[in-house]
Amino acid sequence: MLEQMREQTGSLIIWVLFAIIIAAFVLFFGSPSDSLGCGSTNNYSIAVEDEPVSDHSWRYAYNGIPLIHGNVPSDQRRPLALEFLLQREILAQAAEKMDFRISDALVDKAIANGEFYLLGNKLDGTRFYFDRADEESDPFFSYDLLTNHALGVLHLPNVQAYKKEQRRGMLAHLMKQELLRSAYVSKEEARDAFIQRNTTISADYVKFETLKYRSGIKLSEAQVNDYVGNHEDELKTKWEQVKPRWESEKARVKARIIKVTRAQSVAPIKDIDPDKAPDDEAEAPAETSDTPDEARIAIDAAREKLVAGSSFAEIAAETSSDRTASLGGLIGWRSAESMGYGQEVVDGSKDLEIGKVSEVIESKGAYFLVLIEERSNKALSFEQKKFDLAVRATPAWLASDLAKAAAEAALASAATSPLSELFSPAPAAPGGVDLNNLPPEILDKLSPEQLQQFMNNAAQGGETGAIVIEGPTQYAQLGGEEAGATKPAKPAATAEPVAAPASAPIDVVNAAIDPAVATSEVAPPSLKSTQGTTRNGDFIAGLGRSDELVADLFGTLAIGDLGSKVYKLKDDEGYVIVQLTDRSEADMEKFAGQAAELQAVLGEAKGGLRMQDWILERCLALKKAGSIQANPAMLRSSDEKLLAYEPCSLMTQGQ
């Protein structure tokens, strides 16, 4: 009996101790549901559809980023790690819903084969955890190096945690492959792509760039009002974009200004007396100048005219050195506390009565007169701001018209005179690499935007379509050395500048320019050539983007024909006139032997785009449903500030 009681008492004590341990565990570590709270614990990093991703996974991603993207600063790596994990989970969860399964044996086999799944990429694991007996022997799997890789590099607790991350990465990779294979490219699509890639043209062209005409625009109030009357819908769209900046209730003024820049005083050069000590020289009395302050005289005269009743706009146009002179000095709506011309102007006009001209305001570099037309302490409306918006938009509109008129005048002259007689050829770029002579393996790596950027930057070495490459390192970065291409030889000498033809059409180019619109003539553009060039959709390297231009050069025009129209380039880049000098059609017999391979390549490319769209669409849907929760503890910077993180942002940027 006593023995029985002892046994029962011992059992009771054990159960009590066990209960205490459980209670302590819950108290210190929280229940599993607590891990989805507001960052009270750190045992999850992000939750996707209520499935928490462990903090080990976040550490795996955080420490893995440098292996792919280099030395990314810590505060940038934190949100990046969450975004990579979010993308991985979207793919892995989709794979699980399709009943994909990855066994332990398959994970072990993948690791032994040197596969390494990280941040959505399948990497070569032999670089990280394979060893060699000597330099000549084949690499072999090393468990010790794998342990160092998992614990020392990725900072996981053990190899089992590493295998868990590999399983998740393999699931995501399987789903990626499924999406990549989902795209189909027909033989007809492959044929069209082959023709586009292998049909080439050569052409002479002259481009009239809007930007060059914009710099000479002399903007008037009448022109801006004309733009307002014809583009109100566009201005309303722009207003919606900037409206939040003007919705606050704060003091603002609508003002006109006359600015007369003061001449910079230059200290006279004095002879140094070698018999005087430096201190004596420094203490010599400053010389005074009897030169009259012409800027002060001009601003005083302007104020006298205004007080006598002259129009502020007229006097501003006559006198002001500010860029707003042609607008009658109108600077539009500005903050009353920061008008953009210095504190002296703010102080000198803060008590100014509406409609009255200020006294002369003196600053370090100029004299000013100010006229306040309106004041407001409330949010501004579209009606109040539309003129200001139009001031920014009108120059590009006018410049486009000027460029078009110049191009049309040049085309009319080209009907009777060859382009080579009308325009000077563009000078060669010293040390540059002709874009058209670059190896195809480089051009294939460049996007249309990159090609256009190179063309726009050609001024670094002259107005040719050349890529200036300073050394072999940069050339290799473009793919030349890695692809086995031959580096272009450096020119032996720089060519002498080509003299302009006697009939260089400065008058033709500027014939249609109204002196009321432009302040100065625009130098005529150069005659340029493109040789053996392909198209990329609506884009032709050097010329720009235009569906009509592509259609005519690659289909309509006969060799030797001058285009019968002025071609407008997209993105308000300008206008171009062109003459086709040669065209080489694609070899369709060659296509017959490459059709299957090309279908596969294009299918993979299309699948990649489809995969990106699918991931982004899925991510945005989860975000909208509130099914993505990031643990704030993972976003605390080294100085304990909370870093910004927006789910799906990396996918939205297309990275």
List pLDDT tens digits, range 88-106: 999 999 999 999 999 999 9
In a domain, 461, yes or no: yes
- The Cα–Cα gap between 319 and 298 comes to 7
Which burial class, exposed, middle or buried, applies to 596 when counting CB atoms under 10 A from its CB (0-12, 13-18, 19+)?
A: exposed
- Verify that 124 and 151 share a domain, yes or no: yes
Q: Do the domain assignments include residue 280? A: no
Q: Does residue 170 sit in the same domain as residue 302?
A: no
Same domain, 362 and 459: no
Residue 20 lies in a domain: no
> Rg for the chain (alpha carbons), in Å?
36
Number of domains the chain contains: 3
**Would residue 497 count as lying in a domain?**
no
351 with 409, same domain? Answer: no
Pick from 48-62, 141-155, 182-196: least confident = 182-196
Question: Over the range 207-227, which residues count as b (16 or more CB within 10 Å of their CB) and which as e?
Answer: bbbbebbbebbbbbeebbeeb
Amino acid (one-letter) located at 232: E
pLDDT for the residue numbered 193? 86
- The answer to whether residue 278 scores a pLDDT higher than 50 is no
Least confident residue range of 35-44, 137-146, 596-605: 35-44
| Residues 6 or more apart in contact with residue 102 via CB below 8 angstroms | 167, 170, 171, 174
| Comparison of pLDDT for 269 and 231, the residue scoring more | 231
- Residues 306-320 have a mean pLDDT of 94
* CATH code for the domain in which residue 122 is found: 1.10.4030
416 part of a folded domain = yes
pTM for the structure as a whole: 0.57
Q: Quick one: 446 and 481 in the same domain?
A: yes
pLDDT, average across residues 375-390: 93
**Considering the domain boundaries, does residue 510 fall inside one?**
yes
Query: Residue 471: its pLDDT value, please?
Result: 29
Please indicate, yes or no, whether residues 369 and 428 belong to a single structural domain of this protein: no
Q: Residue 569 domain-assigned?
A: yes
Domain of 259, CATH number, reads 3.10.50.40
Picking from 564, 589, 614, the residue at the C-terminal end of a domain is 589
Q: How confident is the model at residue 133 (pLDDT cuts 50, 70, 90)?
A: confident
**Which is more confident, 5 or 131?**
131
451 band by pLDDT with thresholds 50, 70 and 90: low
Q: Both tokens of residue 493?
A: 């000498």
Same domain as 527, residue 442: yes
Residues 99, 146, single domain; the answer is yes
**Structural domain harbouring 445:** 193-215+397-487+502-589
- For residue 633, being part of any structural domain is answered with yes
* Identity of the residue numbered 165: E
Quick one: average pLDDT of 235-255?
91
